Amino acid sequence: MAAVAGASVEIRDLHHRFASRAGVVTVLDGLDLDVTAGGYVALVGASGAGKSTLLSVIGGLEPAQSGSVVIGGQDLGGLSRTDLATFRRETVGFVFQHFGLLEALTAAENIELACSLARVAPAARRAKVRELLEAVDLADRARHRPVQLSGGERQRVAIARALANGPSLVLADEPTGNLDDASTARVVALLESLPAEHGCTLVLGTHDLAIAERASRRLRLRGGRAVEETAPAAVNAIAGAAPTGPPGQQARR
């Protein structure tokens, strides 16, 4: 598979609030975040800390209420709904905890759907589907519907779909939340290989510290902000950049 250039992530002063019966809940409160192109960042935090919200904002699923979000040099704040759809189609690959496969379609068709949204020619998309299914080791499951697949297999199909249009940024939201240990290991290995094999940036939200510790960088969402938990040496080694503050301070990478 041809590698693509990863997309950098630059977030400044991001605020996000939800209205609930109990009142307004502040999820993100002046969050700053930098992820270099091709990086692998794990977001950790308690439930409700804002991992999914942050991933939604980064992926253009949800507009930023205030602050700026720049992905691969593109400011999402100025994009229309149609432009955002194009951004998601061309730049981002999503992997959800619930897999997000369409039950009416087979594994191959789920992957092909992403290609068809990008108007890839039928012959090319069939070849792409074959290639991706082989990459996730599910070539023999192409005609199976999601209900006929195990949780781990579904998530591998979802990863294949996320890669269908050669994204420069892959966002995974609790991708192993519904998987057993064996499947978790396989899915994590597959995800971890993406930056190296596909050149894309990977941002993974999880509450599983064991998985997060395997990431190049680990950021904890606390109080609406992202706090660096990675050892400075490791950060320097991964990013190849000048060291910043010690773990616990606001992430600037």
Partner 1 sequence: MTWRDVIRLAARTVRRRPGRAVLTVLAVTLAAALLTALLTISTTAETRVLEQLSSGGPLAGIKVAAAAPDPGQVDQDNAAPGAAKALDDTALTQISDLPDVRDVVPIVSSKVYVITPARDRDNHRIGPFFEDLVGVDLTKVSQLPITPVAGRLPSPGATSEIAVTQGYLERLGLQRVDAPQVVGTPLQMATPQVVDDGGQFRIRGRWVKVTIVGVVAQEAGDGQFLASSEMVQQARDWARAGVNQSRDLQLSTSPYTGLFVVARGIDNVSKVRAQITAIGYSTSAPENLIASVRRYLHVVEIVLSSVGIIALVVAALGISNAMLAAVRERRREIGVLKAIGARDRDVYRVFLLEAGTLGFVGGVLGTIFGWAIAEVVGRVVNGYLAAQRLVGVKLTLPWPVVVGGIVGSTLLALLAGTLPAVRAARLPAREAVGGG
What residues have CB less than 8 Å from 193, skipping those under 6 apart? none
Sheet holding 225-228, edge to edge: 92-95, 169-173, 201-205, 40-44, 217-222, 225-228
94 lines the binding site for partner 1 (CB under 8 A): yes
What residues have CB less than 8 Å from 216, skipping those under 6 apart? 39, 40, 41, 230, 234, 235, 238, 239
116 lines the binding site for partner 1 (CB under 8 A): yes
21 lines the binding site for partner 1 (CB under 8 A): no
| Backbone angles phi and psi of 192, in degrees to 5 | -65, -25
Site for partner 1 (CB under 8 A): which residue of 3, 37, 70, 118? 118
227 lines the binding site for partner 1 (CB under 8 A): no
The nearest distance, CB 114 to partner 1, in angstroms, is 5
Site for partner 1 (CB under 8 A): which residue of 98, 196, 248, 249? 98
124 lines the binding site for partner 1 (CB under 8 A): no
Cβ–Cβ < 8 Å for 52, 27: no
Nearer to partner 1, 144 or 236 (CB): 144
77 lines the binding site for partner 1 (CB under 8 A): no
The nearest distance, CB 16 to partner 1, in angstroms, is 9
Q: How many residues bind partner 1 (CB under 8 A)?
A: 45
With left for phi above 0 and alpha for psi between -120 and 50, is residue 174 left, alpha or beta?
left
The nearest distance, CB 167 to partner 1, in angstroms, is 10
Site for partner 1 (CB under 8 A): which residue of 114, 163, 226, 239? 114
The nearest distance, CB 108 to partner 1, in angstroms, is 13
97 lines the binding site for partner 1 (CB under 8 A): yes
Of the listed pieces 115-123, 195-203, 206-214, 235-243, which binds partner 1 according to CB under 8 A? 115-123
User: What is the C-alpha end-to-end distance of the chain, expressed in Å?
Assistant: 28
165 lines the binding site for partner 1 (CB under 8 A): yes
113 lines the binding site for partner 1 (CB under 8 A): yes
CA distance 253 to 249: 12
Of the listed pieces 47-55, 135-143, 182-190, 230-238, which binds partner 1 according to CB under 8 A? 47-55
The nearest distance, CB 231 to partner 1, in angstroms, is 27
CA distance 202 to 217: 11
CA distance 253 to 250: 10
Exposure letters 7-26 (e unless 16+ CB within 10 A, then b)? bbbbbeebebbeeeeeeeee
User: Interface with partner 1 by CB under 8 A: which residues?
Assistant: 27, 48-56, 59-62, 81-82, 84-86, 88-90, 92, 94, 96-98, 100-105, 109, 113-114, 116-119, 161-162, 164-165, 173
